[in-house]
Every structure is written in C-alpha cells, then in structure tokens.
A = this chain, B = another copy of it.
C-alpha cells in the first residue's frame, strides 16, 4: 500500500487494518465462493443438493429453470469444486463437494430464518 501522496485521515489505524487484511489472493477466493452463492438459481441448486444427490432434470424442476440453464450453472459450481457429478447410464447425478459451503449456507439460513 502506498499512502505517501494520498490523503489519509488516520494513518496509524489504516496501517494496522492493512496488516490485518487477508492477501488479495485469499480475498479473491472468498469472493468466488460468495459469488457462486449470490445467484438465486445457483443457491437453489446447492440448497437442493444439501441432503441428497439429484439428476440435472430433477434439479431443473426444483429450480423452475430449463435443463440448459441449470446445466450452465452446474458447470460453474463444478468448476469451483462446490458440486461433483457421477454418471449412471444416461443420467448425471450431482451432489455437494464442499462441506464448508454447507456450513456457510446453514449459517446464512439460520440468520434469515431466526435472527
């Protein structure tokens, strides 16, 4: 951080806070997780997979979206390793691949439901 030629009200506080900040790399990783959950369709997909695996067209029914739209979103979630898939014949089953995301969701759910 370069605060030399920049207006800065409380330089000491800024320095301390700056030291406490995660690296940009880690901030970006956090952003990716939050971004993944910040779309209604994707969040509903993850919520749907919280307890059990589902195939793509059942997820589409649960989300009220087309198979194609869901498939696009599943690819995003797959890329982020939030979900994984296994094939059984013609059917592709998706399930949660990241326990931590489950915790995040349960915490935010608790927040909006009671408190």
Contact = CB atoms under 8 A, between A and B. Distances in A.
Interface string A17-44: 1101110001111110111011110011
Interface of A is mostly: helix
Interface of A: 1, 3, 6-10, 13-14, 16-18, 20-22, 26-31, 33-35, 37-40, 43-44, 47-48, 50-52, 54-55, 57-58, 61-62, 64, 91, 100, 103-105, 107-109, 111-113, 115
B34 A38 contact: yes
A111 B112 CA distance: 22
Contacts of A33: 108, 111-112
A12 B27 CA distance: 41
